[in-house]
Amino acid sequence: MLRKLDFEEIVKARNIRNFINGEYIETGRWFEKRAPYDGHVVARVAEAGKAEVDAAVRAAREALHGPWSKLVVTERVEMLYAVANEIDRRFEDFVEAEMTDMGQPAHFIRHVDVPRGAANFKLFADIIKNVPTEFFEMATPDGRGALNYSVRKPVGVVAVICPWNLPFLLMTWKVGPAMACGNTVVVKPSEETPQAAALLAEVMTTVGIPKGVFNVVHGFGPDAAGEFLTTHPQVSAITFTGETRTGAAIMKAAADGVRPVSLELGGKNAAIVFADCDRDAAIEGTLRSAFANCGQVCLGTERVYVERPIFDEFVSRLKRGVEAMKPGLPTDPASGMGPLISQEHRDKVLSYYKKAVEEGATVVTGGGIPEMPEALKAGAWVQPTIWTGLGDDSVIAREEIFGPCALVMPFDNEAEVIRRANDNDYGLATAIWTTNLSRAHRVAAAIEVGIAWVNSWFLRDLRTPFGGVKQSGIGREGGVHSLEFYTELKNVCIKL
């Protein structure tokens, strides 16, 4: 069970330091990490400044050309498998870190976050071991010919800027392929979720990853560790998952030096529920897509379009499902929802709850702060919320809220709902609910997104491409598609 630690214990046992060139580095500047479910301090974190970021990048640059570069692919694969196995051995440590950082229910972390984190190292180890390259024979004027073949080389030092909503899963989704391809990395976790990165540094040390290959710098964004890292001239490439405005700032920083970026950004994802759907499956799927992780999922659903003949029934059943979700501690098996990540984020979400009412929304359920036990009142709790009565031009329908909420709107025909779903600045994901196979193919092809689910949500083979269109991002991650970012292809031409 989780327990509160008094300040003396925290100072002694929960100091999180930067990890640079295989060493733990203090800076004399500390910030506190508080548990979102009750507000108590779980860690003090050493904030990296420009000097520490520079040291981390230089260590990564040196390691790039050191022992790490001398390993053949099969040796690198063995080391990544060792990382995955050590994560499995320390499974409960990672579960506790994610619970105390995020407040997410333990059953979700145990079934998704930590297993996926370990799997990411094995997946990309297998891919880099088996990925094919090109080979061409060509004619030459002298008749002797030439051979052309391609080789993949690491892109260099990769800056990995991580989000706070699924911190371990999304960090390893980037670190795994980066290291598999022979790159070195400097990770900047969110200041809200520092613990998983710190644990992964311990894992890297335990399994013998060479010094400087994996580095962690802690801190904030503008005029802090994040900006120092993305503007560092010796960073070769930048991968970021997070808010769209931050992604735009990173693109500007990457332009200096013409460095590649991979950006997985915001979403205002639409679910489309046709009258011929399996209604039980559509209700269960929408409850998950709108309210999992307290709505803090980039792939989550905040717009729900329901065909008019089943609209009232759908809203009524969705309401019952939401009201059955009981908030509680992540260790409580009966908990159906954790808190938001922080008080600051709660203020943002509650501001949208207020805007919805001001715009004339009907609050079907929720809309405020739940009544919690005294011990949890300092947590960042909000009620899961459903609205109706607003249109596509409302703020609630257009701006990403990133909380446990959904605006449900009726539609009358297929062409209408496609047009309305696409009339948005974002294009990350959609979930389509129908038993009509032809319709499923038509609508999935027509929606402007990077991933379209039919009769499911959050179901994906990790070898498939993942990413968004429009303001939801640039580039694709997953399977061999990750290799396009983390490697440079070199052609070798041999004259015979």
Question: Is 142 found in the same domain as 170?
Answer: yes
Q: Is residue 1 part of a domain?
A: no
pLDDT recorded at residue 222: 95
Instruction: State yes or no: pLDDT of 11 exceeds 60.
Output: no
Q: Is residue 126 part of a domain?
A: yes
Question: Is 456 found in the same domain as 489?
Answer: no
Question: Is 59 found in the same domain as 166?
Answer: yes
- The answer to whether residue 96 is catalytic is no
- The answer to whether residue 264 is catalytic is yes
Token pair for residue 238?
Answer: 């930048």
Q: Is residue 205 part of a domain?
A: yes
CATH of the domain at 286: 3.40.309.10
- Greatest alpha-carbon span in the chain: 87
Question: Is 280 found in the same domain as 426?
Answer: yes
Q: Is residue 163 part of a domain?
A: yes
pLDDT recorded at residue 14: 82
CATH of the domain at 30: 3.40.605.10
Mean pLDDT rounded to a whole number for the chain: 95
Question: Is 308 found in the same domain as 251?
Answer: no
Catalytic residue among 264, 307, 400, 477: 264
Model confidence pLDDT, tens digit, residues 428-462: 999 999 999 999 999 999 999 999 999 999 999 99
Q: How large is the average pLDDT for residues 458-484?
A: 96
Token pair for residue 328?
Answer: 């509680």
Instruction: State yes or no: pLDDT of 7 exceeds 70.
Output: no
Q: Where are the beta strands (DSSP E) in 287-441?
A: 301-307, 362-365, 385-388, 405-411, 426-427, 429-433
Q: Which domain holds residue 56?
A: 7-265+472-495
Question: Is 424 found in the same domain as 444?
Answer: yes
Question: Is 296 found in the same domain as 202?
Answer: no
Catalytic residue among 52, 298, 307, 477: 298
Question: Is 85 found in the same domain as 24?
Answer: yes
Query: How many domains is the chain built from?
Result: 2
Question: Is 281 found in the same domain as 256?
Answer: no
Instruction: State yes or no: pLDDT of 97 exceeds 60.
Output: yes
Question: Is 321 found in the same domain as 401?
Answer: yes
Which residues, at least 6 apart from 23, have a Cβ–Cβ distance to it below 8 Å? Answer: 211
pLDDT recorded at residue 3: 37
8 confidence band (pLDDT: 50, 70, 90): very low
Alpha helices by DSSP H, listed for 131-238, are 167-180, 195-207, 225-230
Q: Is residue 467 part of a domain?
A: no
56 confidence band (pLDDT: 50, 70, 90): very high
Q: Is residue 282 part of a domain?
A: yes
Q: Where are the beta strands (DSSP E) in 204-298?
A: 214-216, 237-241, 261-264, 269-273
